[in-house]
Amino acid sequence: MRIFIAIKVPDSIKEEISKLQKGLDIQFAEFCGNVRWVAPQNIHLTLKFLGEVPEEQIETIIEAIESSLGKTEPFDISFEEVGGFPNLKRPRVLWVGAKQGKAQLIELMQKLNEKLSAIGFETEARESVPHLTIGRIKKVKNLEFKVKSFKATPFPVERIYLIKSKLTPQGPIYTDIKEFRL
C-alpha cells in the first residue's frame, strides 16, 4: 500500500487556499496553460512520504512513529508564503509554506526521518520545507507573475496521521490508517 505521514488542515484553511488557487489560476493560464490544482479536500502537510509498503510492515511503522513523537507537545502553525519547487521562476510544484510553527515541524520531520531510517526507509536528503502542495505544473515558461499575498489563520496541531493513498484517474483517495495524538 502507498502511505505517508501527514497533518490534516482545517476546512477553513482549505477554503482560503481554494480562493488563492482561483486567483493564481488566472495568472498561470497565461504562462503555462493548465495547472493541476490539488483538490481542497486533499490538501494536507506531508511530514514523510513512505511510498509503497507491504501491509505486514505497518505495525513496525506505527511503533517508529510513536517512538519519534516522544513528548512532542501540540503547537500552532500558520501558512503565509507562496513558493515553488524548484523555484518560482520555473515551478513544477506550487506550495504554501509554514510560518508559525515551522521550527517544530522541521524538528518533527527530522525525528520521523531518524526513526524511520532505522527501520529501512530512505532519509530525506533535501532540506525540509514544511508546506502544503496546492498545484502541479507539467510545462512552464519563464514566469513573471505577482504572488498574491496569503496569510492563513493559525491552527493547533494536536494529531498526526498515517494515511493510505490510492491513486485513481479522478485523483487520490486518502484513508486514515492510524491517528497519533501529540
What residues are annotated to the active site? 44, 131
Torsion over CA: 173, 96, 178, 49 (sign): positive
182 close to 160: Cβ distance less than 8 angstroms? yes
Of residues 2, 17, 15, 5, the one with CA closest to residue 159 = 5
Q: What does the DSSP 8-state code read for residue 42?
A: G
Q: What is the grid cell recorded at 120?
A: 529501512
Element at 46 (helix H, strand E)? strand 44-52
- Strand 173-181: give its sheet, edge to edge: 44-52, 2-8, 159-166, 173-181
Torsion over CA: 7, 12, 18, 21 (sign): negative
Distance CA 102, CA 86 (A): 19
